[in-house]
Amino acid sequence: MRYRAAKTSVIAAVLCVPLLAQDFSQHRPPSVKMTDAGVTNVTRGKAGNVTLHFEVEHGYHVNSNTPTAEFLIPTSLKLTAPTDIVIGRITYPKGQEMSFEFAPDEKLSVYSGGFDIGVVVRPLVGVVAAKYAVRGQLKYQACDKAACYPPKQLPVDFGIQVLKNAPAAHKNPAQSPHIHR
Amino acid sequence: MKRDPVIILVVAMVVTIMLVFGLQMARKSSPDPSEAANKGMQGKAAPDFELKALDGKTVHLSDYRGKAVLLNFWATWCQPCKIEMPWFAELQKQYGPEGLQIVGIAVDEDASTQDLADFAGKLGVNYPILVGKESVEDLFGGVQFLPATLYINREGKIVDKVFGLKGRGEIEESIKKALEPARVAQVVNQTGK
């Protein structure tokens, strides 16, 4: 019986740990996380679009790619692609124009919550059809309503599956313009 | 003795909830955890350091012995820092004759001294700006985020360490506290009785 009581106590304590863990984690530095981008199919010789989704922790913001104030560090993505795969245009979303307690009269261009960055990838014609990894870093600098945190770099990676030819589109059988009955 | 596992479970839950609630209450009374963590620095002697100023001169904290020092860690990328730096310039004018010396420490990693000078110049900074080092930040318990401001009294003791942007009135109160250590000591003695 005593053993059973002890076992129950241990289970109860273990069940309660997440409550404490949640509380202690509230004051860790802000984080920006990337959602798994998975693998995007791209036909060799053609450009493909990859969308990367990032989430800024609630209560914080990062500067947009085009901050309104001088000296602010823009959010920027740098990628390194394997040989024969070209990274094209990187498209950043427009920042949200927001004002904060520390500067109520000034509007800053920021990202908060979720934001997407688009990347154009183009495998060269001669590249072997296979799966490739693209890696890089997202540089950002986060603030909350009264303080700012040093710039950070978030590792970024995603996969692209290079295809020989475009995936076969569903073709409708050829139809005669005339209906024969 | 027979113990009901349900009761044990409930007791464990209640204890945990009380613990969590207690922690929350403690945080409410001290809104910033970093400030709470740095309360331990209060009353301690400010460690001396040596840094280069923007003009290349070497500056020691001990150069300002006998003065109340407001040590402000900032960076060009810190928007809240931009708000309080013009206040500091005004407060330097106001309290300088009483013995206040404001000192800025820039912690930018990438900015050149010219960038720092331009930034400070645009904000009307009229006090020395030093180029920071991580070792100096560590001397003061680390600077996890900006702005971070230390108030050091005339005796060289840390009166306060504050993270984040505060209101101008609050800054002024801390300056007054740093300027009048004797008076603060008196008040502490009286309340301690």
What pLDDT shows up at residue A11? 53
In 3D space, the residue among B55, B50, B34, B67 whose CA is nearest the CA of residue A147 turns out to be B34
Whole-angstrom Cα distance, residue B39 to residue A91? 46
Whole-angstrom Cα distance, residue B121 to residue B110? 18
Test B165 with A20 for CB contact under 8 angstroms.
Answer: no
What pLDDT shows up at residue B33? 46
Among the partner residues A12, A23, A71, nearest to B76 by beta-carbon distance: A71
Test A9 with B119 for CB contact under 8 angstroms.
Answer: no
> Tell me: the pLDDT tens digits for B70-89?
999 999 999 999 999 999 99
In 3D space, the residue among B57, B172, B53 whose CA is nearest the CA of residue B120 turns out to be B53
Test A150 with B79 for CB contact under 8 angstroms.
Answer: no
Sort residue B182 into left (φ over 0), alpha (ψ -120 to 50) or beta: alpha
In the predicted structure, residue B140 carries a pLDDT above the cut 70: yes
In the predicted structure, residue B186 carries a pLDDT above the cut 50: no
In 3D space, the residue among A101, A100, A99, A97 whose CA is nearest the CA of residue A109 turns out to be A97
Test A143 with B80 for CB contact under 8 angstroms.
Answer: yes
Whole-angstrom Cα distance, residue B152 to residue B162? 12
Test A12 with B23 for CB contact under 8 angstroms.
Answer: no
Largest CA distance in chain B: 78
Test B79 with A143 for CB contact under 8 angstroms.
Answer: yes
In 3D space, the residue among A120, A140, A133 whose CA is nearest the CA of residue A34 turns out to be A140
ipTM of the complex: 0.72
Q: Which residues of chain A have pLDDT under 70?
A: 1-29, 166-181
Whole-angstrom Cα distance, residue B49 to residue B54? 16
Among the partner residues A13, A73, A146, nearest to B164 by beta-carbon distance: A146
Among the partner residues B2, B23, B146, nearest to A148 by beta-carbon distance: B146
Interface test with B, best of A1, A3, A8, A101 (most B CBs within 10 A): A8
In 3D space, the residue among B180, B174, B166, B184 whose CA is nearest the CA of residue B102 turns out to be B174
What pLDDT shows up at residue A31? 80
Cβ atoms B37, B141 nearer than 8 A? yes
Among the partner residues A4, A72, A100, nearest to B5 by beta-carbon distance: A4
Range from B128-132, B163-167, B168-172 that averages highest in pLDDT: B128-132
In the predicted structure, residue B2 carries a pLDDT above the cut 90: no
Whole-angstrom Cα distance, residue A159 to residue A150? 29
Residue of chain A whose Cα is closest to the Cα of B162: A147
SS (H, E, C) A16-36: HHHHHHHHHHHHCCCCEEECC
Let me know if A165 is exposed, middle or buried by CB neighbors in 10 A (0-12, 13-18, 19+).
Answer: exposed
- What is the rounded average pLDDT of the residues B179-183? 67
Q: Which residues contact B107 (CB under 8 A, 6 or more apart)?
A: A150, B73, B74, B75, B132, B137, B143, B146
For B21-38, b where at least 16 C-beta lie within 10 A, e where not — what string?
eeeeeeeeeeebebeebb
> Tell me: the pLDDT tens digits for B4-51?
767 776 776 776 666 655 555 444 433 444 554 456 788 899 999 999
pTM: 0.74
DSSP state of A72: P
- What is the rounded average pLDDT of the residues B170-180? 94
